[in-house]
Chains A and B, each alone.
Chain A
Amino acid sequence: MPDDITISIDGVDIQTQPGKMVLEAAIEAGIYIPYLCYHPGMKPFAACRMCVVGVEGGRGYPAACALPVAPDMKIRSEDSDVQQLRHSVMEMLIAEHPDGCLTCHRIEICGPSDVCLRHVSVRDRCVTCPKNERCELKDTVRYLGMNLESPLQYKYRQIPLEVSDPFYDRDYNLCIVCGRCVRACEELRGDDAICFTDRGGSALVGTSFGTSLLESGCEFCGACIDVCPVGALVEREHKWEKAASVERTICPHCPVGCQMNLEINSLGGFVRAIPELNSPANRGQACFKGKFGLEFINSRERLKHPMVRRDGLLEEVTWVEALDYIAERLPNYAGDSFALLTSPNSTNEEHYLAQKFARLVMSTNNVDQTSNTQPELTGALERSLGYAAATNPIWDLEQAECILVFNSNVTEEHNVVGVPIKRAARKDTKLVVIDPREVELTRYADVWLRPAPGTELLLLGGVLRSLIDQGLQHDDWLEENCESPATLYYALHNLDMDEVSRLTHVSLKAMEEAARLFGEGGAGSIVYALDNVPSSLRVDCVRALIGLSLLTGNVGKPGAGLYPMRQGANEQGAWDVGCLPDRLPGYRSVQDADARAEVEEAWAGSVPETPGIRVTEALEAVADGRVKAMMVIGDGATLTNGKISDDVQAFSNLEFLVVHDTFAGALSDIADVVLPRVTFAEKDGTFTNLERRIQRFRPAIQVTNTDARPDSWVICELASRMGGRGFNFLTAAQVMEEIANLCPSYGGVSYHRLDEGGKLVLRTNLDSPQPTQVLHAGKEYPGLQWPCSAEDAEDTRILYAAEGFPPGIAVLEAPSFRVEDVADDADFPSWLVPGRVLFQQGKEIEVVRGRRNHIQREEQVELNPVTAAALAVQNGDRVQVRTRSHRDNAALIAIVRLADGVPEGVISTTTLFGQLAEAMQTSSEPDAAAGVAGLDICRAAIVKIE
Chain B
Amino acid sequence: MIQVVEEALAQHGAAATVSRVGCIGLCYAEPLLDVTLPGGPRVFYGNVTPAAAAEIIETHVVGGAPVERLAMGYIPGPDGVDSAGGIPETVASLDSHPLRAVETKIALRNAGNIDPGDIYQYVANGGYHALNRALTEMTPEETVEQVNASGLRGRGGAAFPTGTKWRFLAGSNAPVKYILCNCEEGDPGAFNDKAIVESDPHTLIEGILLAGYATGANAGYIFIRHGHDGPIDRAREALIQAKEIGLVGQDIMGSGFNFELEVALTGDSYVAGEESALMEAIEGSRAMPRFRPPFPAQFGLFGKPTNINNVKTLAYVPQIIANGGDWFASIGHEQSKGTVILCLTGDLKYTGMIEVPLGINLRDVLYEAAGGVPDGKSLKLIQSGGPLGGVLGADHVDVVLDFEVLRSAGAILGSGGIIAADEDTCVVDLTRALIAFCQYESCGKCFPCRMGMSHLLEVLERICRLEGTLEDLALMRKVGENMQAGSLCGHGQLGFNPVSSALRYFGDEFEAHIVGRTCPTGVCLKPKFSPALTRR
* Chain A residues, CB < 8 A from B535: 96, 155, 200-202
B149 in the interface (beta carbon within 8 A): no
In the bound complex, what is the Cα–Cα distance between A179 and B457 (angstroms)? 24
* Chain A residues, CB < 8 A from B291: 44-46, 63, 66
* Chain A residues, CB < 8 A from B458: 153
Q: Which of A84-92, A495-503, A588-596, A906-914 is the contact stretch?
A: A84-92
A48 in the interface (beta carbon within 8 A): yes
Q: Are A61 and B486 in contact (CB under 8 A)?
A: yes
A159 in the interface (beta carbon within 8 A): yes
Contact of B451 among A46, A66, A85, A201 (CB under 8 A): A201
In the bound complex, what is the Cα–Cα distance between A46 and B269 (angstroms)? 20
| With known contacts A60-B485, A66-B291, A92-B451, A201–B445 Cβ distance under 8 A | no
Q: Mark B422-465, 1 if CB is under 8 A from A, else 0.
A: 00000000000000000111111111101111110110000000
Q: Are A203 and B446 in contact (CB under 8 A)?
A: no
Q: Which of A191-199, A354-362, A793-801 is the contact stretch?
A: A191-199
Q: Which of B236-244, B258-266, B383-391, B475-483 is the contact stretch?
A: B475-483
In the complex, what's the smallest C-beta–C-beta distance from B508 to chain A, in angstroms? Answer: 23
B376 in the interface (beta carbon within 8 A): no
Q: Is the interface of B mostly helix, strand, loop or mixed?
A: helix
Q: Are B471 and A151 in contact (CB under 8 A)?
A: yes
| With known contacts A95-B455, A177-B450, A200-B453, A85–B486 Cβ distance under 8 A | yes
Q: Are A201 and B450 in contact (CB under 8 A)?
A: yes
| With known contacts A49-B447, A152-B475, A89–B486 Cβ distance under 8 A | yes
B528 in the interface (beta carbon within 8 A): no
In the complex, what's the smallest C-beta–C-beta distance from A185 to chain B, in angstroms? Answer: 13
* Chain B residues, CB < 8 A from A85: 482, 485-486
A47 in the interface (beta carbon within 8 A): yes
| With known contacts A151-B471, A195-B286, A201-B450, A61–B536 Cβ distance under 8 A | no
Contact of B536 among A44, A157, A196 (CB under 8 A): A157
* Chain A residues, CB < 8 A from B488: 46-47, 49, 63
Q: Are B448 and A49 in contact (CB under 8 A)?
A: yes
* Chain A residues, CB < 8 A from B536: 155, 157-159, 201-202, 204
A648 in the interface (beta carbon within 8 A): no
| With known contacts A196-B286, A201-B453, A88–B486 Cβ distance under 8 A | yes
Q: How large is the interface on B (under 10, 10 to 19, 20 to 34, 35 or more residues)?
A: 35 or more
In the complex, what's the smallest C-beta–C-beta distance from B202 to chain A, in angstroms? Answer: 35
Q: Are A200 and B450 in contact (CB under 8 A)?
A: yes
Interface positions of A from 128 to 170, Cβ below 8 Å from B: 151-153, 155, 157-159
Q: Are A200 and B441 in contact (CB under 8 A)?
A: yes
In the bound complex, what is the Cα–Cα distance between A93 and B444 (angstroms)? 13
In the bound complex, what is the Cα–Cα distance between A68 and B536 (angstroms)? 36
* Chain B residues, CB < 8 A from A177: 444, 447, 450
Question: Which residue of chain B is the closest to A156 with respect to CB atoms?
Answer: B536
| With known contacts A44-B291, A63-B291, A199–B447 Cβ distance under 8 A | no
Q: Are B534 and A200 in contact (CB under 8 A)?
A: yes
Most chain A CB inside 10 Å of its own CB: which residue of B458, B533, B536: B536
Contact of B485 among A61, A159, A176, A179 (CB under 8 A): A61
In the complex, what's the smallest C-beta–C-beta distance from B323 to chain A, in angstroms? Answer: 38
| With known contacts A66-B291, A88-B479, A93–B453 Cβ distance under 8 A | no
Contact of B444 among A52, A63, A159, A200 (CB under 8 A): A200
Contact of B479 among A44, A68, A92, A93 (CB under 8 A): A92
Q: Are B486 and A201 in contact (CB under 8 A)?
A: no
Q: How large is the interface on A (under 10, 10 to 19, 20 to 34, 35 or more residues)?
A: 35 or more
Most chain A CB inside 10 Å of its own CB: which residue of B439, B445, B479: B445
Q: Are B442 and A199 in contact (CB under 8 A)?
A: yes
In the bound complex, what is the Cα–Cα distance between A153 and B458 (angstroms)? 9
* Chain B residues, CB < 8 A from A45: 291, 445
* Chain B residues, CB < 8 A from A204: 536
B293 in the interface (beta carbon within 8 A): yes
Q: Are A203 and B448 in contact (CB under 8 A)?
A: no
Q: Mark B98-120, 1 if CB is under 8 A from A, else 0.
A: 00000000000000000000000
| With known contacts A46-B488, A88-B479, A196-B286, A202–B447 Cβ distance under 8 A | no
Q: Mark B278-300, 1 if CB is under 8 A from A, else 0.
A: 00000000101001010000000
Contact of B486 among A49, A152, A158 (CB under 8 A): A49
Question: Which residue of chain B is the closest to A173 with respect to CB atoms?
Answer: B536
In the complex, what's the smallest C-beta–C-beta distance from B481 to chain A, in angstroms? Answer: 8
In the complex, what's the smallest C-beta–C-beta distance from B531 to chain A, in angstroms? Answer: 11
Contact of A89 among B269, B445, B447 (CB under 8 A): B447
In the bound complex, what is the Cα–Cα distance between A203 and B442 (angstroms)? 9
* Chain A residues, CB < 8 A from B445: 45, 47, 179, 203
Q: Mark A82-118, 1 if CB is under 8 A from B, else 0.
A: 0001001100110110000000000000000000000
* 3 pairs of A and B residues whose beta carbons are closest in the complex: A203-B444, A201-B454, A201-B535
17 more A-B contacts (CB under 8 A) besides A47-B446, A92-B447, A199-B441?
Answer: A46-B291, A47-B445, A49-B446, A49-B486, A63-B291, A68-B293, A92-B451, A95-B451, A179-B445, A198-B534, A199-B440, A199-B443, A200-B439, A200-B441, A200-B454, A201-B457, A201-B536
Chain B residues with a Cβ under 8 A of chain A: 269, 286, 288, 291, 293, 439-448, 450-455, 457-458, 471, 475, 478-479, 482, 485-488, 533-536
Name 8 interchain pairs, CB-CB below 8 A, sorted by A: A47-B445, A155-B536, A198-B444, A198-B534, A200-B534, A201-B454, A201-B533, A203-B445
